[in-house]
Amino acid sequence: MFADILEPYTLNVFTDASLRKISDVETWVSSGVIAVYGNTIVRDDYRVYKNQTSNYAELKAIKLGINIAQDICRQVPSIKVVNLFSDSQISIYGIRDRIFNWRIINNTMVGYGNKIIANQDIFLEIMNLIIMCNLHINFWHQKGHSDESSIQKSRYSFITSNRIVGANESNIDFEFIKYINRFNQMVDNASRKLLYQTDSMQDVITPISFLIPTPTYHQEVLNQYNHLINGGS
């Protein structure tokens, strides 16, 4: 798997988010993206949002990463594989697995036990953006804040979080884990640095407005989406 990740047909996107408490009533969060081609960072981008949650920022980072990946793939047609790595388990599990089991009740998306899905608008925007761009993409959860001393735990976490079983486990070697940890740490540090260098709301970056259709959620759309992510089905 490590050999594939460095191939010229593979683009690897790393996303992360940071949170900064400004006061008892105000919180800022940042979203960061690094796009990597081989060992070279070819694009990075960051956003800062006021009074939002960490999960909001993680999802915004993923959405931004998808947009960047689509733009790069359009410029480099030889790219055939796009991987997106995030250390936000709730985000990756949501957009990769759980979204297929959510339901709409009274125009509201709910999950197990009819619990309302937080940031459901962003989940739907991500799904519709991927469909609109016809972007084949793999979503992977990786353990955040890992280093050489915890590489065994990072490997175990990656295998279990992404349900890699059997002979495929041997493809997840330590060099692969070191690679994804390296860029996860980079985007984590960069997004946090930007957040703490932002001194006033005048410095906060205006969020990107994506021109995508009103999000929809029905079986036909879910089938299209399922075909595009993690190898399809």
Tokens in use for 25? 């009533």
Assess if residue 36 is contained within a domain.
yes
**Residues linked to residue 46 through DSSP beta bridges, in sequence order:** 32
Each residue of 11-39: b (16+ CB within 10 Å) or e? bbbbbbbbeeeeeeeebbbbbbbbbbbee
In this structure, the dihedral spanned by the alpha carbons of residues 140, 145, 149 and 151, taken in order and rounded to 10 degrees, is 0
pLDDT in tens, the chain (233 residues): 556 788 889 999 999 999 999 888 888 999 999 999 989 999 999 999 988 999 999 999 999 999 999 999 999 999 999 999 999 999 999 999 999 999 988 888 999 999 999 999 999 999 999 999 999 999 999 988 776 778 999 999 999 999 998 878 888 989 999 999 999 999 999 999 988 887 655 555 545 444 444 456 788 899 999 999 998 75
Pairing state between β 40-50 and 138-141? unpaired
- Closest by CA to 28, choosing from 60, 9, 64, 52, is 52
pLDDT of residue 107: 83
Tokens in use for 73? 């793939």
Phi, psi dihedral angles at 5 (to 5 degrees): -70, -20
Q: How many domains does the chain have?
A: 1
Assess if residue 233 is contained within a domain.
no
pLDDT of residue 144: 80
pLDDT of residue 210: 45
Cα–Cα distance between 18 and 1 in angstroms, integer?
29
Query: Residue 187's domain is classified under what CATH number?
Result: 3.30.420.10
Q: Which domain holds residue 56?
A: 2-228
Which helix (H) or strand (E) element contains residue 201? none
pLDDT of residue 208: 47
